Amino acid sequence: MPETMRAARYHGPGQPLRIESVPVPAAGDHDALVRVRAAGVCHTELHFLSGLLNLGIAPLTLGHEIAGEVAEVGSHVRNVRPGDRVLAYYYQGCGSCRWCLRAEENLCDNLRAEHGFITDGGYAEYVRVAGRNCLKLPDTLGFEEAATLGCSATTAIHSAKSIAGIRQGETAVVYGVGGIGYALVQLCKLSGADVIAVGRSEERLARAKDLGADATVRAAKDDVVAEVMRLTEGRGADVVFELVGVAETMANAVAMLAKRGRLVLIGYSEDPFTASTVLLVIKEAVVMASVGNTLAEMKEALDLAGRGKLKAVLGGTYPLEEANRALDDLKAGRIVGRAVLLP
Ligand SMILES: [Zn+2]
Ligand SMILES: [Zn+2]
């Protein structure tokens, strides 16, 4: 095992990531050391760089979508061994709070680790994760596709099933067609719902159609609310997944809800959420929010992807050294789907 490795490190808001040489972490008794082969590039990293998400921890290796090969395991690790191809789950809960007892580690009151958020993540050659957080990849899945499931598809499973409880016959609007949006389109179709995808770019919407969206609405061109009302024959959408989180999209999302419609907030920005109480009350609308995912949901994402039911949309690959270029491309909207770094 080498003593040092390359990592793309965050040093606080307003600064680009720096490629540095840092020590290779040592695996404890319950840990695995994973040689990272692909790490997904998520909007979360842009929120770190802008300062919108500031957990006050720096320097830090970002990256929470981590696929790689197990290099070493601690003496108590039984579920994986060196050489196994794995996807690493990024939350390590305390194991004893009321959320961890329900296996809802994403809400843990006292996280031991959250890779790429409060502890070092996958923008490096190696990452140390808890052994139990390593899930073996199906043979059919490569590292690059697998990495994109770590947050995007798994977060989509959480919001579609655990939060929204999407049902057959409902109409869902996927408002924003990035990594999570593409997975939501597919999951809603698998649940028997009709899906309307809303996005700015023709190219991205075409991809949503390929993945099963029944209709698409071009945000830059169409009156989004009027289009959704027309497509639903005036009823509105039973579920709106809001992946953008700016004032305009949030207002549209509320306006397009059906009676008893559920609004699921996933994307966020500096903009506050404001809505007409009258509009919400007369519809008996439900406003929900969704953050992250559970280990069980990651297992489900891998199973679905392994069986070809959930397709990863790989938006390009970048060497680790070009992490900042990948983030610039994401910010500028030049990436369709999910890009990955190859450390
Ligand atoms: Zn906990
Ligand atoms: Zn993410």
pLDDT tens digit sequence for 224-269: 999 999 999 999 999 999 999 999 999 999 999 999 999 999 999 9
Measured in Å, residue 284 CA sits from the centre of ligand 2 at 31
Same fold? 4-151+292-342, 165-289: no
Q: Which CATH class is domain 4-151+292-342?
A: alpha beta
Measured in Å, residue 99 CA sits from the centre of ligand 1 at 6
Measured in Å, residue 42 CA sits from the centre of ligand 2 at 5
pLDDT digits (tens, 9 = 90+) for 200-215: 999 999 999 999 999 9
Q: Is 116 left (phi over 0), alpha (psi -120 to 50) or beta?
A: left
Measured in Å, residue 118 CA sits from the centre of ligand 1 at 15
Measured in Å, residue 47 CA sits from the centre of ligand 2 at 10
Closest CA to 69 of 96, 104, 100, 33: 33
Closest CA to 78 of 67, 70, 90: 70
Measured in Å, residue 252 CA sits from the centre of ligand 1 at 36
Measured in Å, residue 103 CA sits from the centre of ligand 1 at 9
Strands 171-175 and 194-199: parallel
Measured in Å, residue 45 CA sits from the centre of ligand 2 at 8
Measured in Å, residue 104 CA sits from the centre of ligand 1 at 8
pLDDT of residue 220: 83
Measured in Å, residue 129 CA sits from the centre of ligand 1 at 16
Instruction: Give the number of whichever ligand sits closest to the CA of residue 152.
Output: 2
Query: Does residue 106 contact residue 292 with C-beta atoms inside 8 Å?
Result: yes
Measured in Å, residue 274 CA sits from the centre of ligand 1 at 31
What is the identity of the amino acid at 184? Answer: L
Please say if the pLDDT value at position 28 is more than 90: yes
Instruction: Give the number of whichever ligand sits closest to the CA of residue 147.
Output: 2
Instruction: Give the number of whichever ligand sits closest to the CA of residue 65.
Output: 2
Closest CA to 184 of 234, 236, 237, 141: 237
Distance in angstroms (rounded) separating the CA atoms of residues 112 and 103:
15
CA distances from 152 to 99, 147, 291, 297, 302 (A): 22, 9, 11, 11, 12
Closest CA to 274 of 237, 241, 239, 246: 246
pLDDT of residue 177: 95
pLDDT of residue 191: 97
Instruction: Give the number of whichever ligand sits closest to the CA of residue 90.
Output: 2
Domain ranges within the chain, ordered by starting residue: 4-151+292-342, 165-289
| CATH homologous superfamily of 165-289 | NAD(P)-binding Rossmann-like Domain (3.40.50.720)
Measured in Å, residue 316 CA sits from the centre of ligand 2 at 16
pLDDT of residue 236: 98
Distance in angstroms (rounded) separating the CA atoms of residues 267 and 170:
22
The two tokens of residue 104 are 């809802």
Distance in angstroms (rounded) separating the CA atoms of residues 154 and 310:
11
Mean pLDDT of 97-122: 97
Measured in Å, residue 330 CA sits from the centre of ligand 2 at 13
Percent of the chain past pLDDT 70, that is, above it, reads: 100
Transcribe 88-111 into DSSP letters: E--EE--SSSTTGGGT-GGG-SS-
pTM beyond 0.85, yes or no: yes
pLDDT of residue 215: 98
What is the identity of the amino acid at 156? Answer: A
Distance in angstroms (rounded) separating the CA atoms of residues 111 and 118:
9
Please say if the pLDDT value at position 219 is more than 90: yes
Distance in angstroms (rounded) separating the CA atoms of residues 286 and 112:
33
H or E, element range at 113: strand 113-114
Query: Does residue 188 contact residue 166 with C-beta atoms inside 8 Å?
Result: yes
The structure tokens 């830059």 sit at 220
Measured in Å, residue 151 CA sits from the centre of ligand 2 at 5
Please say if the pLDDT value at position 222 is more than 90: no
